[in-house]
Chains A and B, each alone.
Chain A
Amino acid sequence: MEESPPESTSHDELVISGTGAAPGIAMGTAYRYDASAPDRRRAPISPDEVDAEVDRLANAVQRAEQELETVRTLAPDALGADTDAIFEAQALMLRDEEVLRAIRQRIRARKEPAAAAVRTVLAAHRERLDDSDDAHLRTGADDLVELERRLLRALRRRAAAAHIDTQSVVVAQELTPTDLLRVRRQGPLGAVTARGGPTSHAAIVAKALGLPLLVGAGETLEAVSSGDRVVVDGTEGRLIAHPHPATVEDYRQRETEAPSPTEREEERAGRPPRTTDGHAVTLRVNVGLEAELDLLRPDPPGGIGLLRTELFLLADGDPHAVDEERQVEAYREVAEAAGEEGATIRLLDLGGDGRGPRHAAAEHEGSRSLGERGLRRLLNRPDEHLRPQLRALLRANRQGELRVLLPMVTDVTEVRRVRRILDEESARLAENGVPHDPTLPLGAMVEVPAMALQAPAFTEFVDFFSVGTNDLTQYVLAVDRAAGPVGARHDALHPAVLGLILRVVETGRMSGCPVEVCGEIAGDVQAVPVLLGLGVDTLSVSPQSLPTVRRVVRAIEYDAAKGLARDVLQEDDAPAVRRRARTWIDTHLPPAETAGSGGADVRGPDASDR
């Protein structure tokens, strides 16, 4: 076929360039997804609608906070040290009482629709910033624009999610993280948006989901209609509509060369990896979002090591998702995705550290991390979430493939109370003839130092331990990682944190109680040899870091790693541990053996990047 001039008929190949926001190639049929139009109503509402409008605002704020938390959880550390600070600022803006009060006042006094009131109030604030002579301070206006959009989106009535074909590529003006999560559930191949940049929240989510995404395709994207054949190249940053057969062929070729998700999946499908001297290490995966289950096919060899139910159930801000019936369904789905090794389901960790949805009222640090969160909250109001969740787990557990994990455990007493409630619920289900499997292993998160110190006392009441290094580090080092200048001191490779982990591992070994590590550190290349050396033999990591961790494990000599662990425990601080681990990796892991196809650099980030 001859090359066609750009201005010819609509069925000729059309190449639209944009910015690749999440890598990968997707070929399929375009599906136009346009969320409902923003609420432009300006006409006053009637006095009896005022209360409902104020409620809508409150719900929208909550949904927006939820969305922000979801994205924050998915955001990799690699985005830079400032990421947490940025999310923190955005969350604070959403919760700015002064501004919310002004918005409510306009709704009440002037009978403005919520969306209009949001626009007016934020525009007034923005003006002050736009007037500034200082370029850096003017960027605050962008933050306010983002806040306004976030609130307006949350105020929008939800577009009924039409059925999206699994062979389609979603084409939209703009996609929010929530949109992306919602459409991803239906399994499209990729997505393209007219607006947005590579650092947008949608980009973070797309990367986490392994969904090719092209952003900033501009107005030309209007030329693409539902049903058109398209190729999205999230790596090179372009969209090709009505591709020539030659173009399709070209991309097919590239698809087979590129380390495609399929190839990574195959790599996962093998047996548990072994170190060079034959020590087997179980690798499980952490799951927060339903869409991530798709990344696990075929079955992950080690099963699911951590399902964060607060994210899984509440990711799209639908409060009904915690209904018992819906939970049963969700856990069945998880059990199936987890395969033979089953799944560890962590009970709702609400009001938490920013890794779980926050309670809107819990404003400052103290009440967030040291207050009523995790198991404390569950036990204080057992009928609210604890009992329904345990019932749902008992019912979903048909062939013993589920395990329960308790978040933020402090004392043995708490575990005993959960055991008792679990027995009561199981008895009640039996009485009512509801099918369920009462043998539900119970594990405790090792996050609170008190719990780690008393580990031997717990072995009588729990079936396994799971070390949550993010929170453990925060509590041991008294550092909040979002706390500006000291945030960088939040590093689980601190000798004190490692010493506590060792203690729990030894307790586990003596009592036959398995210990696994499921925090972010488990996917940190420098930490893997240290953890193995300490005696940890089960790691639960994100689906994205699984291939890299697997390669590192295969390159490690277990005996040498034990020596490394002994040495790092003698170091003074985390940077010293990292220096030693890096040197060890340089001498013990030949790059040729560890740098596999398409993987991240197994040498990992420098201490200075963290």
Chain B
Amino acid sequence: MIEREVTIRNRAGLHTRPASMLVKTASRFESAVYLCRDNYEINGKSVIGVMTLAAEQGAVLTLVVEGEDETEAADAIEALFEDGFGEEL
């Protein structure tokens, strides 16, 4: 199991479009993906779940990935956060 902290860098936060990018990426992997914010945990393959994190710019989330391809999955997801989902930072 991998556990990492990720920070929302893009200005608009984890709104619908970044949420769907995240879910599309997470769904490419076998591993289970969870995101956690203040004890509220959601399935990283559920776009509505990710949206309900209501994570604004600067919010810190815990990314938990577990499964065969957990390293690749965690790296790919972390890269999206780093890149601010291709949006304005």
- Write the residues of chain A forming the contact surface with B, with a CB cutoff of 8 angstroms: 82, 85-86, 88-89, 92-93, 96-99, 125, 128-129, 131-134, 136-137, 139-140, 143-144, 147, 363-366, 484-485
Residues of B within 8 Å of A131, CB to CB, are: 54
Residues of B within 8 Å of A92, CB to CB, are: 20, 23-24, 47
Report the minimum CB–CB distance from A85 to chain B (whole Å).
5
Report yes or no: A96 in contact with B13, Cβ–Cβ below 8 A: no
Interface check B6, CB cutoff 8 A: no
**Interchain residue pairs with CB less than 8 A apart (27):** A85-B17, A85-B20, A86-B16, A88-B20, A88-B24, A89-B16, A89-B17, A92-B20, A92-B23, A98-B42, A98-B43, A98-B45, A98-B49, A125-B52, A136-B12, A136-B15, A137-B14, A137-B54, A140-B19, A140-B54, A143-B51, A144-B51, A363-B27, A365-B28, A366-B28, A484-B85, A485-B83
Residues of B within 8 Å of A143, CB to CB, are: 16, 51
Report yes or no: A144 in contact with B56, Cβ–Cβ below 8 A: no
Q: Which of B16, B48, B55 contacts A99 (CB 8 A)?
A: B48
In the complex, what distance in Å separates the CA atom of A271 from the CA atom of B54? 58
Contact (A128, B54) CB under 8 Å given A93-B48, A139-B15: yes
In the complex, what distance in Å separates the CA atom of A134 from the CA atom of B11? 11
User: For this complex, into which size category does the number of interface residues on chain B fall?
Assistant: 20 to 34
Q: Which of B17, B52, B85 contacts A82 (CB 8 A)?
A: B17
In the complex, what distance in Å separates the CA atom of A143 from the CA atom of B18? 14
Residues of A within 8 Å of B54, CB to CB, are: 128-129, 131-132, 134, 137, 140
Residues of A within 8 Å of B21, CB to CB, are: 484
Contact (A140, B51) CB under 8 Å given A89-B17, A92-B24, A364-B28: yes
- With contacts A89-B47, A140-B54 known, what are 12 further pairs, Cβ within 8 A? A82-B17, A88-B24, A96-B48, A98-B45, A99-B48, A125-B48, A132-B54, A133-B56, A136-B12, A364-B28, A365-B24, A485-B83
Report the minimum CB–CB distance from A325 to chain B (whole Å).
39
Q: Which of B13, B27, B46 contacts A137 (CB 8 A)?
A: B13
Interface secondary structure of A, over-half rule:
helix
Contact (A134, B48) CB under 8 Å given A89-B17, A139-B15, A485-B86: no
Report the minimum CB–CB distance from A213 to chain B (whole Å).
26
A89, A128, A129, A136: most-surrounded residue (chain B CB, <10 A): A89
In the complex, what distance in Å separates the CA atom of A485 from the CA atom of B87? 8
Report yes or no: A97 in contact with B86, Cβ–Cβ below 8 A: no
Residues of A within 8 Å of B16, CB to CB, are: 86, 89, 139-140, 143
Report yes or no: B56 in contact with A132, Cβ–Cβ below 8 A: yes
Contact (A144, B14) CB under 8 Å given A132-B54, A364-B27: no
Residues of B within 8 Å of A134, CB to CB, are: 13, 54, 56
| 3 closest Cβ pairs, A-B complex | A485-B86, A98-B46, A89-B20
Report yes or no: B51 in contact with A364, Cβ–Cβ below 8 A: no
Report the minimum CB–CB distance from B7 to chain A (whole Å).
15
Report the minimum CB–CB distance from A54 to chain B (whole Å).
19
Residues of A within 8 Å of B19, CB to CB, are: 89, 140
Report yes or no: B52 in contact with A128, Cβ–Cβ below 8 A: yes
Residues of B within 8 Å of A365, CB to CB, are: 24, 28
Report yes or no: B86 in contact with A484, Cβ–Cβ below 8 A: yes
In the complex, what distance in Å separates the CA atom of A355 from the CA atom of B31? 29
In the complex, what distance in Å separates the CA atom of A219 from the CA atom of B26? 45
In the complex, what distance in Å separates the CA atom of A134 from the CA atom of B13? 9
Question: Taking CB as reference atom, which chain A residue is nearest B49?
Answer: A98
Question: Taking CB as reference atom, which chain A residue is nearest B56?
Answer: A134
Residues of B within 8 Å of A136, CB to CB, are: 12-13, 15
Report yes or no: B56 in contact with A96, Cβ–Cβ below 8 A: no
Contact (A99, B46) CB under 8 Å given A92-B24, A140-B51, A484-B86: yes
In the complex, what distance in Å separates the CA atom of A447 from the CA atom of B21? 26
Residues of B within 8 Å of A125, CB to CB, are: 48, 51-52
In the complex, what distance in Å separates the CA atom of A136 from the CA atom of B56? 9
In the complex, what distance in Å separates the CA atom of A96 from the CA atom of B47? 6
Residues of B within 8 Å of A133, CB to CB, are: 56
Report the minimum CB–CB distance from A463 to chain B (whole Å).
39
In the complex, what distance in Å separates the CA atom of A129 from the CA atom of B42? 14
Residues of A within 8 Å of B86, CB to CB, are: 484-485
Report the minimum CB–CB distance from B58 to chain A (whole Å).
10
Q: Mark B48-66, 1 if CB is under 8 A from A, else 0.
A: 1101101110000000000
Residues of B within 8 Å of A485, CB to CB, are: 83, 86
Residues of B within 8 Å of A364, CB to CB, are: 24, 27-28
